[in-house]
Structure 1
Amino acid sequence: MFVRLFGLMKVPLIFWVSPSVVTLNDKECVIRIPLNRRTKNHLNSMYFGVLCTGADIAGGLVAMNEITASKKKVALSFKDFKADFLKRAEGDVHFIVTQIPEIKQFVADVIKSGERMNFPVEIKAVVPSINPTEEVAKFVLTLSLKVKN
């Protein structure tokens, strides 16, 4: 619900693609975006812009949760974005991040230092209904955080 509310209030495109949180625990974060009329391209696979949006959500959610829990004002952005599209995503896509402990420590380090810091977050995208282990895309987004004054 938090992801959709954030989308509705801050980034309408996130709301538009209807993401949902499948898993969010100490080991992984999994975001699902359905393949439907809103998210598919002319080849009936997921549009690359939607794939990038899913990677954005998965890459930032853990950090956003940690920032919210800290009650500190921290600016979150992505410094860069690298994407490899490996195969057409012809079903609902799961975006998976497994660097949860590292991201949590990164947020703590930023809050402690007060300085802008960067951290590369790796996201893999799979279509579980077709092959839950075969990546259809992989991303590296550099998470950039800074404590606001």
Structure 2
Amino acid sequence: MPSIKKFQVTFDCADPERVARFWCEVLGYVVPPPPDGFATWDDYDRSLPPERQGAGFVCQDPTGEGPRLYFQRVPEGKVVKNRVHLDVRVGTGLVGEERLAALQAECTRLLALGAVRERVLLADEYNESCIVMQDIEGNEFCLD
């Protein structure tokens, strides 16, 4: 039987630290301590060659259970819909109006952080309601 592998999710973006800190707020993740020998991430960043400064940033689940998120600077902007997206599970176990209320409350919190609501998909005979959103650089995700 193959062993279970740890993985990280990598986001291409223009401003890695800004996007990472947004996702810390969304998921309750934290920025890990800076590498040994550096008091802060800014100190570490300044030690890099100029072209590498600000090129990446990380956030992680403080419990160690969820995947690490890595944000890397790329020169091109986002132009098409994501092929992969995160489903942020805030309505687990809820149905109907109770679920929709929980999704709307989380949507309101994330709008204040700079997220954008694209659309609400209401429950049908196959799926429960969800809200399609975008992060601060336009990457789609769902409140589910």
Q: TM-score range by the shorter chain?
A: under 0.3
Q: TM-score, normalised by structure 1?
A: 0.24
Q: TM-score, normalised by structure 2?
A: 0.24
Please identify the structure whose Cα radius of gyration is greater: 2
Looking at secondary structure, tell me which structure has more helix per residue.
1
